[in-house]
């Protein structure tokens, strides 16, 4: 019986020891490894706003209306002009494509939006009109701001009526650009 009693005491001690071991076992790692944190860098790059300037206006040059037709200006630095129908072009005033300069973030690409419809040219000081449409640009697709700038040209087709009243006609159109 004495031996049994000692054994029970041993068991009790063992339980206490066991409890202590658990307490130590769970408490010690909690201090070192229960939580952790890490730092991340963050960045953002603000680029200059994209801007567009018109350097040269679109000019269909001089021509005689004849029986009417169209005058087509190609979109190029050395724009070529052609006529359809009865319009007769005067070679001395060949006209120009519109020239635009775009500036912004170096290397960025951008989209060009040409007028959706036609623009009206009105005889200066009077009411007679012609319309320009079928807009074209010298860029095949999106533009690229190599070095932060790019130049492109815009051409169009002018519709001339038979016996269009002679005189100087003027109007405006808008081209917009936006970053891709």
The residues binding another protein (CB under 8 A) are: 2-3, 6-7, 9-10, 13-14, 17-18, 20-22, 24-26, 29, 32-50, 104-105, 107-109, 178-180
> Is the Cβ of residue 57 or residue 141 nearer to another protein in the bound state?
141
CB of 98 to another protein, least distance (A): 24
By the 8 A CB rule, do 112 and 150 touch? no
Instruction: Name the token pair of 114.
Output: 């040409």
Q: What are phi and psi of 39, to 5 degrees?
A: -105, 135
* DSSP string for residues in 75-137: SSTT--EEEEET-EE-TT---B-EEEEEE-STT-EEEEE--SS-EEEEETTS--EEEEEEEEE
> Is the Cβ of residue 105 or residue 128 nearer to another protein in the bound state?
105
CB of 20 to another protein, least distance (A): 8
> Is the Cβ of residue 51 or residue 163 nearer to another protein in the bound state?
51
> Is the Cβ of residue 10 or residue 80 nearer to another protein in the bound state?
10
List, in sequence order, every residue forming a beta bridge with 63; answer none if it has no partner. Answer: 89
> Is the Cβ of residue 40 or residue 91 nearer to another protein in the bound state?
40
The helix/strand/coil state of 145 is coil
CB of 125 to another protein, least distance (A): 39
CB of 51 to another protein, least distance (A): 10
CB of 102 to another protein, least distance (A): 13
Distance (Å, rounded) from C-alpha 94 to C-alpha 80?
8
CA distances in angstroms from 85 to 45, 72, 160, 174, listed in the order given:
54, 11, 9, 28
């Amino acid at each position: 019986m004495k031996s049994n009693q000692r054994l029970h005491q041993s068991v009790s001690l063992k339980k206490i020891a066991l409890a202590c071991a658990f307490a130590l076992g769970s408490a010690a790692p909690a201090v070192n490894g229960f939580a952790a944190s890490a730092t991340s860098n963050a960045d953002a790059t603000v680029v200059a706003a994209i801007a567009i300037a018109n350097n040269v206006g679109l000019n269909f040059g001089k021509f005689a209306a004849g029986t009417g037709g169209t005058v087509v200006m190609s979109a190029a630095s050395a724009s070529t002009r052609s006529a359809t129908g009865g319009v007769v072009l005067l070679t001395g005033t060949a006209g120009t494509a519109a020239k635009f300069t775009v500036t912004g973030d170096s290397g960025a690409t951008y989209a060009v939006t040409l007028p959706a419809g036609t623009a009206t040219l009105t005889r200066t000081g009077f009411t007679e009109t012609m319309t320009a449409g079928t807009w074209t640009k010298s860029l095949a697709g999106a533009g690229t701001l190599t070095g932060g700038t790019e130049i492109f040209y815009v051409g169009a087709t002018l519709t001339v009526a038979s016996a269009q009243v002679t005189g100087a006609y003027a109007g405006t159109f808008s081209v917009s650009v936006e970053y891709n």
